[in-house]
């Protein structure tokens, strides 16, 4: 108990000394040991890295989970070391509602069939979103969070220790300065006003005491300087490790971009497949009882856009069998042919269409009366309709 009380008193004295030194520095009444410019740059870069990492982490969490209540719930589960329950994505929930609507409204009707197809696509989109969230959380969010909760806490702890060592060092410098001033005063201005021997003895005793105080202060300064230098080196090594942190975050950023690219590519493929499937439904967009819904073979561009909002209309061309015959017999125009590069693979829906492979070059041109979303493509002796959205026109 006695030892603890002594330690408590010693800690209180150190704390008081640091508080006095810190206060005097703030009021400009004490000198402060300045760190070198390189060290200050390391500190500034570390602070900037921490601040931007926090902002990127928070905004990425918002991107992956826009619902703030859900984010708070996930945060509490993580703090309690409990597994976060599986959550249905918005796409999966929409797919569920569409499937239930199709079941109740009639799965054999054109509307019901379309609802079923769209619900299946939305379900696949929801699954892709779930995989993207999981991959991004593991490969991107977790390393950022580990830096803030691990490396940065260690750096902050060592910086606080360095600040304390600096305050101790400056306090020792101030104590030595005062001791030397008192020693000089005691040495140069002895009390000779009285001639009694007692005064000479007291003056000599005071000078000896101040000599001892100076020696003690110098010893404490050497110890404080050694501890400060050691702590500065430890902190410097940790701050220089921020470069490795940047390299690690760069690698994680590449992983995040890769997962995001995969996610959007999957979504694009799912929607293209859905678009092609809906285009093959006979009478899917044909009005039955509503007079405002014109038939598919309308040649008006406005009517076609209104009745076919998803798939480009090719109704202005002959049926599939006839189209194949006509296309083989039709010669390309003397002018108006262009080269085009295929952007994505395309599977022909029927014999009137031309299957495409990504990055291949084909010759394309348009025929009078064709839908503007389609062109005639030629590759060797093969010819067929190709969608414009799959092409990059070169010349």
Q: Of 371, 258, 353, give the one whose Cα is nearest residue 311.
A: 371
Whole-Å CA distances, 311 to 260, 278, 361: 26, 7, 24
The conformation of residue 392, written as its DSSP 8-state character, comes to E
pTM over 0.75: no
- Segment among 24-38, 68-82, 344-358, 381-395 with least mean pLDDT: 68-82
- Residue 155: the pLDDT is 95
In a 10 Å sphere around its CB, with 0-12 CB exposed, 13-18 middle and 19+ buried, how is residue 387 labelled? buried
In a 10 Å sphere around its CB, with 0-12 CB exposed, 13-18 middle and 19+ buried, how is residue 71 labelled? middle
- Residue 16: the pLDDT is 61
- Residue 303: the pLDDT is 38
- Residue 158: the pLDDT is 94
pLDDT tens readout for residues 122-137: 999 999 999 999 999 9
Please, what is the Cα angle at 50 between 47 and 53, to 5 degrees? 145
DSSP helix/strand/coil, 294? coil
Q: Inform me whether the pLDDT recorded for 64 exceeds 50.
A: yes
- Residue 282: the pLDDT is 55
Whole-Å CA distances, 61 to 51, 100, 233: 16, 32, 36
CA distance 117 to 96: 12
pLDDT tens readout for residues 307-364: 333 434 444 444 444 444 456 566 667 667 888 989 888 888 888 899 998 889 999 9
State the average pLDDT over residues 250-273: 94
Token digits for 181?
């001033």
The alpha carbon of residue 225 and the mean position of all alpha carbons in its chain are separated, in whole angstroms, by 42
State the average pLDDT over residues 82-107: 86
- Segment among 123-127, 242-246, 311-315, 366-370 with least mean pLDDT: 311-315
The count of other CB atoms within 10 Å of the CB of residue 337 is 15
CA distance 347 to 358: 11
pLDDT tens readout for residues 264-305: 999 999 999 998 888 776 544 434 434 434 444 444 444 333
Q: Which residues in 221-286 belong to E strands, given as ranges?
A: none
On whether the CB atoms of residues 203 and 191 are closer than 8 A, the answer is: yes
DSSP labels for 174-221?
HHHHHHHHHHHHHHHS---SS--HHHHHHHHHHHHHHHHHHHHHHHHH
CA distance 153 to 384: 64
Please indicate whether residue 57 or residue 300 has the higher confidence score (pLDDT). 57
Phi-psi sector, 364: left (phi>0), alpha (psi -120 to 50), beta: beta
CA distance 306 to 98: 23
State the average pLDDT over residues 248-262: 95
The conformation of residue 390, written as its DSSP 8-state character, comes to G
Rg for the chain (alpha carbons), in Å? Answer: 40
- Residue 318: the pLDDT is 46
DSSP helix/strand/coil, 376? strand
CA distance 270 to 274: 6
Whole-Å CA distances, 358 to 272, 361, 375, 395: 15, 9, 17, 18
pLDDT tens readout for residues 173-204: 888 888 777 767 766 655 555 445 545 444 55
Q: Dihedral of CA 137/138/140/144: which sign? A: positive
DSSP labels for 144-156?
HHHIIIIIHHHHH
DSSP helix/strand/coil, 318? coil
pLDDT confidence tier of residue 3, bands split at 50, 70 and 90? low
Q: Dihedral of CA 44/45/51/55: which sign? A: positive
pLDDT confidence tier of residue 87, bands split at 50, 70 and 90? confident
State the average pLDDT over residues 148-166: 92
- Segment among 6-10, 221-225, 289-293 with least mean pLDDT: 289-293
């Amino acid at each position: 108990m006695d030892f603890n009380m002594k330690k408590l008193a010693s800690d209180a004295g150190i704390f008081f000394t640091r508080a006095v030194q810190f206060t005097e520095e703030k009021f400009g009444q004490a000198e402060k040991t300045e760190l070198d410019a390189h060290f200050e740059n390391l500190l500034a870069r570390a602070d900037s890295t921490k601040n931007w990492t926090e902002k990127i982490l928070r905004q990425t969490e918002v991107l992956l989970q826009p619902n703030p209540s859900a984010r708070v719930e996930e945060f509490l589960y993580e703090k309690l070391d409990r597994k976060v329950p599986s959550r249905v994505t918005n796409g999966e929930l929409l797919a569920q509602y569409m499937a239930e609507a199709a079941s109740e409204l009639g799965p054999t009707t054109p509307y019901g069939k379309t609802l079923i197809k769209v619900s299946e696509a939305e379900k696949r989109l929801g699954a892709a979103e779930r995989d993207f969230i999981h991959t991004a959380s593991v490969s991107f969010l977790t390393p950022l969070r580990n830096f803030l909760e691990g490396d940065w806490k260690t750096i902050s702890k060592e910086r606080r220790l360095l600040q304390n060592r600096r305050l101790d060092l400056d306090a020792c410098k101030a104590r030595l300065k005062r001791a030397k001033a008192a020693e000089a005063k005691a040495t140069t201005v002895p009390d000779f006003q009285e001639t009694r021997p007692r005064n000479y003895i007291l003056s000599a005793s005071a000078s000896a005491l101040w000599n001892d105080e100076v020696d003690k202060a110098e010893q404490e300064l050497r110890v404080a300087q050694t501890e400060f230098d050691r702590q500065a080196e430890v902190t410097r090594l940790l701050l220089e490790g921020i470069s490795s942190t940047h390299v690690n975050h760069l690698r994680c950023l590449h992983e995040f971009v890769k997962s995001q690219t995969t996610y959007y590519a999957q979504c694009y493929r799912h929607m293209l497949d859905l678009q092609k499937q809906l285009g093959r439904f006979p009478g899917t967009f044909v009005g039955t009882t509503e007079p405002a819904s014109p038939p598919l073979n309308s040649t008006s561009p406005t009517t076609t856009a209104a009745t076919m909002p998803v798939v480009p209309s090719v109704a202005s061309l002959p049926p599939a069998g006839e189209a194949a015959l006509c296309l083989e017999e039709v010669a390309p125009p003397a002018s108006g042919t262009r080269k085009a590069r295929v952007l994505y693979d395309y599977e022909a829906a029927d014999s009137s269409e031309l299957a495409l492979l990504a990055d291949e070059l084909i010759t394309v041109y348009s025929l009078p009366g064709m839908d503007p979303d389609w062109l005639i493509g030629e590759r060797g002796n093969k010819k067929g309709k190709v969608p414009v959205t799959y092409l990059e026109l070169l010349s």
